Amino acid sequence: MTIQDGREATSSGHAPEVIRVGTRASALAMAQTQTVADALAAASGLPVELVPITTEGDRSKESLSALGGTGVFAIGLREALRDGRCDVVVHSLKDLPTVRAEGLVIAATPKRVDARDAVCARNGLTLDTLPAGATVGTGSPRRAAQVRSRRPDLRVVDIRGNVDTRLRKVASGELDAVVLAAAGLTRLGRLEEVTEYCGLDGWPTAPGQGALAIETRTAPGDVVARAVASIDHRPTRMTVTAEREVLRILEAGCAAPIGAHALIEDGLIFLSARVYRPDGTAHLTSSHALYVADDPRPAEAVAARVAKELLELGAAELVPDGSIS
């Protein structure tokens, strides 16, 4: 089988002349994809071309919950990969559904950057020093629940838009603060806007936050396969797999406020996940660890323990109907 329009032949053995990398067209997506493109160019010796793609999630102004979750950002990229407009696509891993897409595979997960959330507030304020009634913007049900849990006297406002748009709402006085991913601010060179970093122990973030997923067709061709494999980071792949496996087992929907974080240390994989009531008045936490060498699939095994305990503790009763099965 071949991909038309000069793209790589998946079975003929012909090498591609250029590697086309699909990405969302936002400034953040383009910035993070450029780092992947540079690595692929170095590994393959081929020129790499970015292919900007506007997804349904980018076009719509509705909340992510109303749109059906963060998967709306992945659909357009995956269509472009399947129809041959690109050879590789780059996703923010937290935007990717846990169900594998037919005919596609996550071929690499580069080394993760900062997984924390960051508060960007007016006048250098933090969540604890914001005055009662201050407005905090976020489009994430998890972040909204966390803000309400920590400061029930604050007003949480649902917002959409790219990083610059959200930061402008603070600069203009429309909002007192926004909560954003530290990774995105890092990639855009906007860390000077941060007034507080939220520690992962007390503020677990979205499964996969801070990590990228490099997706290809299941038979991308030897040149692309080797180049993509060269940027895979095994510890990152293992930890984000554990985090995302909790979501998969719980069958958690976009309205489920869930945070998870895994790390590998001294031969152990540690995983902690927390499920919040949307209004922030309650949450459940489960944490487990196991030796990586003791199980052929350690990420999946530790996630199964965490998810099982969350369900036994009553996670399904804590969140909106249908958010957790």
Catalytic residues: 95
Between the alpha carbon of residue 145 and those of residues 53, 158, 176, 194, the distances in Å are 32, 12, 17, 20
Give the start-end residues of each E strand in 173-324: 177-181, 196-198, 212-217, 258-265, 268-276, 283-291
Q: Which residues contact 40 (CB under 8 A, 6 or more apart)?
A: 19, 21, 46, 48, 88, 227, 228, 231
Which residue type is seen at 167?
Answer: L
Q: Which residues contact 184 (CB under 8 A, 6 or more apart)?
A: 28, 163
DSSP 148: H
User: φ, ψ for residue 187 (rounded to 5)?
Assistant: -65, -25
Q: Please give the radius of gyration of the chain, using alpha carbons only, rounded to the nearest integer.
A: 20
Structure tokens at 246: 């909790």
